[in-house]
Amino acid sequence: MRADRLVAVLLLMQARGRVTAAELAEELEVSVATARRDLAALCTAGVPVYPQPGRNGGWSLVGGARTDLTGLSATEARALFLLVGPAAAASDQARAALRKLVRALPQTFRAEAEAAASATMLDPTRWSGRNRPRPALVDLLQAAVIRRRKVRLRYVGGDRKRTERLVDPWGLVDKDDVWYLLAGTERGQRTFRVDRIVAAESTELPAARPDDFTLDAAWRTVVGEVEQRRSRTWAMVLVPARYLPVLRDQFGRHCHPDDGERADGRTQVRLAAPTALDIARQLAGWGDLVEVLAPPSVRAELARIGAELAARYSAEA
């Protein structure tokens, strides 16, 4: 049984006092059979929960007591606090929740959990460039996702057109300080950049969400589609082997060395981008350190960029 679901079960029991397998299944988005197995596994693990048969029965903590989360192993507790520790530095509420989690752990786990929580930190400030602040609408959208309420959006698309939509919010993703909302629309699942949402209004209309929806799987699909669009044009280049890490950092997953180092010290690499111009723009700063073998369209774009620069700056030489 996954540790995150175990914690969720315990917290729900502590909050409600008594729960049924059907209620757990609905809250955790699992089958009733899985919820029953989880509850039985808690008993087997020594967590003080017990079933109450009958029409108004369910599962409760013994005597209404609060659990010490003994279902977590030392390794699971350490992993949990490595994850939540850096994020807790962002707000007083998160730090308070972290302290409560520490107190809920068995005494033997606490020292290592506290050390794990303080072993890593997040510094959102970049060394250079513009820092992206957290969009003000994130909190509103998060609340709508949790409460499962439709949201009315005014949105500016990539084509600069403004539209108004009523959507079912399914989840939010923070990718390198850029936030995205995954939502259901009349045309199916859509992805909205939060910084392009001009205004958002939460409604009291219930939002629908597919039973098999998971944010992780949906986001992997979105990323795959974006990466496919970003790799429509390929180029074959030669670069000095010692500069391959720099080229790989520039093109990321769209940089693929095809073979080992050649006799002249260069390596053949396949690069990808949406268009030939995009590849040429990124390679223009390399000068003659990179030789483009193919396709001709990338070579032509580089020649054009070079001619434009020569024409602009030759008079100043």
Do 215 and 241 lie in a common domain? Answer: no
Same domain, 86 and 39: no
Q: Closest Cα to residue 294, out of 227, 240, 238?
A: 238
Global pTM value: 0.55
Angle between helices 92-104 and 107-117 (to 10 degrees): 150
Q: Is the dihedral of CA 281, 284, 285, 286 positive or negative?
A: positive
Tens of pLDDT, residues 56-94: 678 877 654 454 555 566 676 676 666 666 666 666 666
- What is the distance between the alpha carbons of residues 309 and 303, in angstroms, rounded to a whole number? 10
Q: Are residues 159 and 217 in the same domain?
A: yes
Domain contains 53: yes
Same-domain pairing of 258 and 305: yes
Q: Which domain holds residue 189?
A: 138-224
pLDDT digits (tens, 9 = 90+) for 93-150: 666 666 766 766 666 667 777 777 666 665 655 665 566 677 888 889 988 988 899 9
Tell whether 131 is covered by a domain: no
Q: What is the CATH number of the domain that holds 175?
A: 2.30.30
Residue type, 99: R
Asked if residue 34 lies in contact with residue 22, where contact means CB atoms within 8 angstroms, the answer is no
- Alpha carbon 192 to its chain centroid, in Å, reads 14
Spatial separation of the C-alpha atoms in residues 35 and 291, rounded to whole Å: 60
Between CA 181 and CA 188, with CA 186 as vertex, the angle to 5 degrees is 60
Highest mean pLDDT: which range of 3-12, 230-239, 256-265:
230-239
> How high does pLDDT run on average in the chain?
81
* Total of domains in the chain: 4
205 pLDDT more than 90:
yes
Reply yes or no on whether the pLDDT at 10 is more than 80. no
Say if residue 160's pLDDT is above 80: yes
Residue whose C-alpha is closest to residue 39's, from 19, 63, 53: 19
Say how far apart CA 274 and CA 234 lie, in whole Å: 9
d(CA 97, CA 106): 16
Residue tagged 């919010």 (tokens): 169
Residue-wise pLDDT for 260-301, tens only, equals 788 899 999 999 998 999 999 999 999 999 999 999 999 999
Q: Is residue 126 part of a domain?
A: no
β-bridge mates for residue 201, sequence order: 152
Looking at the domain assignment, is residue 276 inside a domain? yes
**129 within domain boundaries:** no
Residues 304 and 246 in one domain: yes
Residue 1 is predicted with a pLDDT of 41
CATH number at residue 237: 3.30.70
Cα–Cα distance measured from residue 75 to residue 145, given in angstroms and rounded to the nearest whole number: 31
In a domain, 238, yes or no: yes
pLDDT digits (tens, 9 = 90+) for 207-229: 999 988 888 888 888 888 887 87
So what's the pLDDT on residue 128? 57
- 158 and 111 in one domain? no
